[in-house]
Structure 1
C-alpha cells in the first residue's frame, strides 16, 4: 500500500530531429504497453533523488540529533538531565546562536543549505534519463562525468524488480535488467510500481522471439507482401497472443507455499546453526576452565550471526514461484520485496540438495547457476541463486518442472527415483567402481553420473545428498583430469564446466573408460542440443524446424572396454 500516489515519469524535452534520415529506434508498438517504451528518452520517478540520497539525509539528521541531544532530552523529559547542567547545554549550537544573536544568519544558512541539496538532487534527476528501443535498454546519468550504459535485448538474462520498504510505501520500485557479463546490469531506480511492471513486461517481450511475429504481421499488412491471407490470419492470431502477455498486472499464484514453521525449522537444522551452538558451548567451557574473556569476545559474533539468521528467514518470507508467458517469476522478501523473472533458456545448471538434518523431515533445497550480471564482490548475488529455500519432494517436482520444461516425461524418474532417492536396485547411474571406493567410503554407490538426451546428471553425497542437472544446450565444456593415484586405480575425475555459481560440476573417482565414453557422448550431445535449442527465443519461433542431427548416443549403453564394476 502506498501513501503517495505514483507519479507519471515525465518525458525529456529533446530537440527536433534533423531532416537527415535516421533509423527508427522505437520498438514495435504491438509489443509494448507502457508509454515509457516508445524509444524516446524519459526521466525516472520525481521522488528518485529522495530515495537515492536518503542516506545523506539520514547522516545529516544523525549529526544534528547528536549535537542537540541534551536539549531534545530536556524538552521531551524535563528533569531527566543532571541538576548540575542548570539549564546550560555544553557545545549546544542553538545556545551559541541565541547568545551571539545569530538567529537570522543561522536561518539563512539553513535555507541556503536546503536549497543547495534540493538543487543538487534536481540536477541529478534531470540528467538521469533512460530509453527502451527495439534493440537496447539505455541509461544516461551524470552531470560533470557522464555515463552511458546499454543492455542489448538479445543478451537479457532476466529482469528483477526490487521494492525496499520505503519505496513500497511511496509506490515505487527499482527495475534491474540483468545482462550477460560482469557488472553489466542496467538499473532504472526508481519508477512507479505500475510503470515498473509494464516496462518489465515490455523488455521481456522485446527480448524474446516475439518481434518475429510482429514483423510477419507488419509484412502481411504491407502492400505487395508475399504472405498469403491465411498466413496473415495466423500471424495476426500470434500477435494477439503476444499482446495479451502479462495482463492484467498482478502477482500470479505460486505453485509452492512455504509454511513459516518449516522455514524456521530449516534454519534451526542448518549446519551453520549447529556449528554456532557447538562453538558457543566450547567457549563457555573454556571460559569456565580459565579464560573468561573468551565469553565476551564471542558476543559480537553471536550478534552478527543472529542478524544473519533472522535476515535469512525474512528474506525467504512471502516466497512465491509461478510460471508466466515470459518465464518463471520468483518473489521473496518481507521488508524488501524482490521479484525476478527468469526467461526460458537462461538456466545453466540446477542442483537439488538435502542435508542429513533435513532427511527425516523430507526437505530439499534448489539452487541454480545463472548469469546475474553482477560483479564478484556483490554480496547480493547469492540471493538470486536459491530458487527454493526449503520444500518437500512434491514442491521440488513442481519447481523442477518449471525450470526444466523440456525434460521428457519418461526421464523424470531418472531425476527423482534414481537421482534424488537412489541408488535403487536397477540403478542406471554409472558409479564409482569398487576398487576405488576407499576414496568415497560412504558414498561410492551414490557417486555417479547419467547422460540423457537433454541433460547430464551428476549425483553424489551420502550425508549431504546432491543432484546436479546440466542442460546440454547450456553446457560450456566437459573436462577429464587424472592424477597419479587415479591412473594406478584406472579412474578419472569428470568436470562439467558452466558459469560460476553455487552448483558444482565436479564429480570424482569414476571409471576411466566410462569417463572417456561419456566425454565423447557429451560432446556429441551438446552439439545436437545446441543446434536444436530454441529456448533463447521463447516466443514467435516455434514454427522453425530444428536441423536433424545424427544422434546415435541417445540410447546409452555402457562402454565396451569399461570394467563390469564401473556400473555397480
Structure 2
C-alpha cells in the first residue's frame, strides 16, 4: 500500500493499480486507486480545537492563581486570597500551590499533551482513503479498525462543506452521500483545491463516463507551506466579505435571493406570530404579578431568536445552477456548503406557499432525497431545501433543474394549475362536492393529475402545497378508506417515497378515480423504471459514441437507448408489462365477480 500525505504530493500518472480509474477521467492525483492520507492539519480541526477550548476553560477558571504564580507583580491585592487557597482541602490546585509543586505539575501537563498529540498523529496516520473506478473506500481506527465503502453507482450526491476555521486554512470536508441511513463516507479534511478536484472525479466516475475526457489545466506549481498558508488565509478572508469564488466552468445561479426578501420571509411566518403572542403574554403576566412566565418563556424566546438568526445566516449566498453532473446548490455565510445532486436522485418535490407569503407571491421548494444521514441528525434539513424563498418565476427555474425531463407544456401547467389553481380549464381531478365536509376549506383545490412521468398532488388553502412525484422514483401507492370515507364514496391516497419533509398525501379522492389512478400509476411506474438510466447518467452518451459508425454522431444513436432525457425504443417490453398487468386485473375482477377465467373454464 502506498500512502502519501495530502496535499504536498506531486501529480502522478497511470500507476497500473488494479481497480484504478482511467487516468483520462480523473484530474486529482488522489484519484489514482491507491491509498492516501488526509490533510496533515486534520487532527487540529477534528480534535485540536476541542483541546484548545478545554484549555481555555481551565485557564479562565484559574486566571487569578496563574497570575499569582507567574506574574505576581500584576496583582498585588491577590495575596489576601492565597491563605484561603492554602487552607482549602481536597483541591489539587491548592495542594500544588501549598507544596510548591509547579515543576512537577507542568511536567505532568506536558506529558498529557504529548500523549494527546501522539494519539492525534497516530489516528491521522491510520486514516486513509482511496478512489477506484467502482467505489470510494475509507479506513480508520487504531485499535478497532473500520472500513467504509460507497459504491459509485449508488452515489446520491457529493457535499463540500467549508467550516469557518477550516475555510481560513484553505481546507474543506468532502462527504459522499450513500443510499441508506448512516451510509455516508466522509473525507475530512482535504485542501479546498484537492476537495473540488476529487469531487469532480467522483461524479465523473459515478456518471458512467468511460471515454477519454482530458482536462486542459496544468498541475499547479508547488509552493512552500508557509507561503501557501499565508495566501490561503488572505484569500479566504476576502471571500468572507465578497463571497466564495465561483466554481470553474459552471453556470451562474439561476435564482438570486435578496437579503431583504430572506429576512422578511422569516418575519412573515407563523412561528413569528407565535413568538409575538408569547411576548405579549409575558408582558401582561409580569404586569399582573405572574413572574414565573418571565423565567419560563424568556429562555425559549432566546433560543428561538438564535435559531431565527442561524436560519438566515445559513441561507445567505444561496445559489442553484446546473452542472454536467447534476444540480449544484450552495448556501451559507460563514460555513459554506456546496452540494451536487446528480440526475434522478430527487424522489419528491414540494412547492409550498404560506398564507402570509401570498401577498408577496413567495414560494419555497423542498425535496425528498437520500441524505445518508440518520433521522436524528438535525443537519439533514439543510440538504432538503432547494429554494428557501422565491417568486413563481424562480420556482419554474428550479423545477427546470430538478425535473429536466418534464416537458415545457407540463411545466407551465404545474405553475398555472398546480400552484395557483384551480381555475378555468382545470385538468386536476378534485374532491367531489359530496365530500366537501371532509375538507370544507380546500375541497375545491384538493386534487391530483397524472402525466406521462410524474404524479401531481395539489392541496391546502392556508398552506398551498403542490407535490411532484417522479414515477421512476415512486416506491408504491396506497389507498386508505375509513368508515366515513366509505359512506361518502371517497378514499385517501398516499404515495410512498424516501423519508423527507415532503408528505405525498391526498384526502377525499373519489373512489373510482382513485382505483383508476392506482392502475395507471402501477403501469407508469414500471414503464419509467425500465426506461430510467439516471444511475449512470452519462453512460448512454459515451456508449453510443463508442459504438457509433463512421459518419454518424453520438447524438444520432443516443435515441436508440432507453432514457428519460431522449426518445426510447423500449415499447415492446413496456407493452408486455401493460398487457400482463391488464391480464392480472381481469383475473382479479373475475375472481371478485365470480366469473371463471379461461384457465378455470378449461
TM range (shorter): 0.7 to 0.9
Q: Which residue of 2 aligns with 1:170?
A: 169
Instruction: Report SS of the residue matched to 1:440.
Output: coil
Return the offset for 1:527.
1.2
For 1:136-151, list aligned pairs within 5 A.
Answer: 136-151=135-150
CA contact (8 A) 1:9 1:46 kept: no
Identify which of 541, 545, 557 aligns with 2:561.
Answer: 545
Ranked by relative contact order (alpha carbons within 8 Å, sequence separation 6 or more), the top structure is 1
* Distance in 2 between residues matched to 1:270 and 1:66, nearest whole Å: 41
Return the offset for 1:114.
2.2
CA contact (8 A) 1:10 1:42 kept: no
Q: Which residue of 2 aligns with 1:556?
A: none
CA contact (8 A) 2:278 2:297 kept: no
The count of aligned residue pairs is 512
* Distance in 1 between residues matched to 2:395 and 2:299, nearest whole Å: 37
* Distance in 2 between residues matched to 1:332 and 1:112, nearest whole Å: 43
For 1:111-510, list aligned pairs within 5 A.
Answer: 111-211=110-210, 213=211, 239=213, 249=248, 252-510=251-509
Q: Which residue of 2 aligns with 1:559?
A: none
* Distance in 2 between residues matched to 1:73 and 1:508, nearest whole Å: 71
- In structure 2, relative to structure 1, the CA distance for the partners of 1:367 and 1:89 (3 Å cut) is farther
CA contact (8 A) 1:439 1:509 kept: yes
Instruction: Report SS of the residue matched to 1:88.
Output: helix
Instruction: Report SS of the residue matched to 2:414.
Output: helix
Deviations 1:232-278 (A, max 9, x none): xxxxxxx469999xx97477421111111111100001111111211
- Say whether residues 1:36 and 2:30 are aligned partners: yes
* Distance in 2 between residues matched to 1:158 and 1:339, nearest whole Å: 10
Return the offset for 1:518.
0.9
Instruction: Report SS of the residue matched to 1:419.
Output: helix
Return the offset for 1:89.
8.0
Instruction: Report SS of the residue matched to 2:174.
Output: strand
CA contact (8 A) 1:197 1:249 kept: no
* Distance in 1 between residues matched to 2:9 and 2:100, nearest whole Å: 45
- In structure 2, relative to structure 1, the CA distance for the partners of 1:509 and 1:41 (3 Å cut) is same
Q: Which residue of 1 aligns with 2:60?
A: 66
Return the offset for 1:23.
8.1
- Going by fraction, where is helix more abundant, 1 or 2? 2
- In structure 2, relative to structure 1, the CA distance for the partners of 1:512 and 1:494 (3 Å cut) is same
- In structure 2, relative to structure 1, the CA distance for the partners of 1:99 and 1:355 (3 Å cut) is same
* Distance in 1 between residues matched to 2:371 and 2:121, nearest whole Å: 31
- In structure 2, relative to structure 1, the CA distance for the partners of 1:382 and 1:103 (3 Å cut) is same
Return the offset for 1:296.
2.0
* Distance in 2 between residues matched to 1:84 and 1:107, nearest whole Å: 22
Return the offset for 1:186.
0.3
- The TM-score normalised by the length of structure 2 is 0.80
* Distance in 2 between residues matched to 1:277 and 1:73, nearest whole Å: 48
- Say whether residues 1:525 and 2:524 are aligned partners: yes
- In structure 2, relative to structure 1, the CA distance for the partners of 1:102 and 1:80 (3 Å cut) is closer
Return the offset for 1:393.
1.2
Deviations 1:442-487 (A, max 9, x none): 1111100000001000000011001000011111111111111111
CA contact (8 A) 1:9 1:191 kept: no
Q: Which residue of 2 aligns with 1:557?
A: none
Return the offset for 1:490.
0.5
Return the offset for 1:84.
7.2
Return the offset for 1:106.
3.3
- In structure 2, relative to structure 1, the CA distance for the partners of 1:252 and 1:9 (3 Å cut) is farther
- In structure 2, relative to structure 1, the CA distance for the partners of 1:248 and 1:85 (3 Å cut) is closer
Instruction: Report SS of the residue matched to 2:118.
Output: helix
* Distance in 2 between residues matched to 1:73 and 1:416, nearest whole Å: 68
Instruction: Report SS of the residue matched to 2:422.
Output: coil
* Distance in 2 between residues matched to 1:483 and 1:149, nearest whole Å: 46
Return the offset for 1:64.
2.3
Instruction: Report SS of the residue matched to 2:535.
Output: coil
* Distance in 1 between residues matched to 2:187 and 2:336, nearest whole Å: 16
* Distance in 1 between residues matched to 2:260 and 2:491, nearest whole Å: 44
Instruction: Report SS of the residue matched to 1:113.
Output: helix
- In structure 2, relative to structure 1, the CA distance for the partners of 1:516 and 1:248 (3 Å cut) is closer
* Distance in 1 between residues matched to 2:447 and 2:71, nearest whole Å: 71
* Distance in 2 between residues matched to 1:551 and 1:434, nearest whole Å: 39
Q: Is 71-80 or 60-69 further displaced after alignment?
A: 71-80
* Distance in 1 between residues matched to 2:376 and 2:392, nearest whole Å: 34
Superposed CA RMSD: 2.9
Instruction: Report SS of the residue matched to 1:144.
Output: coil
* Distance in 2 between residues matched to 1:207 and 1:511, nearest whole Å: 43
Return the offset for 1:99.
5.9
CA contact (8 A) 2:478 2:495 kept: yes
